[in-house]
Structure 1
């Protein structure tokens, strides 16, 4: 496929769900990425970060431009809240700082009326056993999210499946009536049963993340995805009787996007 052909690929309004990808597809800032993607997809995941040294949180004038670009192009945004937050930390200063960082982002992005916010509930370490005291960890997450909900509705906060069993934090979703972000790539690379997770959590899933897993690495294109998995996923979400959802191709290069759109093209209702 030539670069010229790649530029013409569009699956905008081609499904019963909203198809999205990340704000880091071309090597440029957020606004040029939105301009590049506007005629190709329905939603853009704004991947945001903030640290003492670096931040890509849009300034107020950029937020106004993002809002205008969304309105003019029929786009929605999902906002990926900063990764360097520890809302379950036993250290109250760390927990409170994380809550304030998340609240700043929600407050800044509110004028864009995001479709939803994606939230990671990090532990102290990676892997299937993220903390030594899971019960207290969950209590801390509940405390943090209760504070965050002063700025957002429960429906709009989507807790993402990570590398630990999601059952460890599902009570947070149930107790606060939150939503779920089912990251299929994370489930695959973690060795979890995707079908079981779709069965159990789909009714709460407003966002799904889809990306390829190859040689132990995720967030690649989906050209190697198991056809039966894609068939099952499309059967579940590409239906008029389903609630509005976003399926985000959580990848970070133009080439991976092109390949992934080609894989999804046969499932499109209209192109």
Structure 2
């Protein structure tokens, strides 16, 4: 199996300084390729680049930065995936102007990273506004109507992204996030998209009162990537485990051995990305070695 790590490592991105001038210097001199090289040196040759880096480091996806990432890929044999921007992006909003801006931000990220030949692009099809309505205590019929409207708006945005980029639909993987799983799966089926299964999100109850292994069976034919992290299952299905996901394996209720066995039986070869810190990811790899040593190179 192919295990990788996200490049959005907060301890590497936030400058360890107290002086504003030093902080500005850190931003100005930030090297995307330098960050990725450190992750490679930590033991990972599969890296998920984070589109949101561009919010704080404008040079992150500039042509020179992309060229450096491409050279590093060639030098050490990296594989990239890209997590498209999600902060400030809402491709499902009823506001057309905001939807258009969100589509443009996503298209820009795809176009900028195309030279890196990412294996897949991960997309949050709905954003913070949709999640807010999803959490609201509303009459069931009205809530269902509202969520379906968010879904329809997201479908329009995704269609626009595919048309503007020429990206094959199966190279775009919609993630299981804080939105009903059935509506997310329906979007993937409607546009023949791939799926990114986020284990911690599902365990936390973000996608509704669904069982992780039931979800896995439904998405396996479209599964292009897994975000792997642990989380406790909430005792009350109506109270998701906010802030308790993104934990190393063995810290929550994920049946890691069962998950690995099912993926191995399915001959799953797509990226498995630890959405964890480097230390947490290394700890999780050790857990996998203890459980199923033959699956880790």
The answer as to whether partners of 1:223 and 1:259 remain within 8 angstroms in 2 is no
**Secondary structure, aligned partner of 1:263:** helix
Aligned to 2:238: none
Q: CA deviation at 1:238?
A: 3.0
Q: RMSD across aligned C-alpha pairs, in angstroms?
A: 2.4
Q: Which is higher, the Rg of structure 1 or of structure 2? A: 2
**What is the distance in 1 between the residues matched to 2:275 and 2:93?**
27
1:3-50 CA distance string (max 9 Å, x none): xxxxxxxxxxxx3xx211111346255322311222512311111217
**What is the distance in 2 between the residues matched to 1:268 and 1:73?**
25
2:245 is the counterpart of 1:218: yes
Unaligned runs of 5+ in 2: 14-29, 136-142, 233-240
The answer as to whether partners of 1:49 and 1:56 remain within 8 angstroms in 2 is no
Aligned to 1:260: 284
**Greater fraction of residues in helix:** 2
Unaligned runs of 5+ in 1: 1-14
Aligned to 2:36: 34
Q: CA deviation at 1:219?
A: 1.2
**What is the distance in 1 between the residues matched to 2:54 and 2:75?**
32
2:67 is the counterpart of 1:67: no
**What is the distance in 2 between the residues matched to 1:218 and 1:204?**
24
**Secondary structure, aligned partner of 2:134:** coil
Aligned to 1:185: 200
**Secondary structure, aligned partner of 2:245:** strand
Corresponding residue pairs, total: 252
The partner residue of 1:201 within 185, 205, 219 is: 219
1:41-60 aligned within 5 A: 41-49=44-52, 55=58, 57-60=60-63
Q: CA deviation at 1:260?
A: 1.3
**Secondary structure, aligned partner of 1:159:** strand
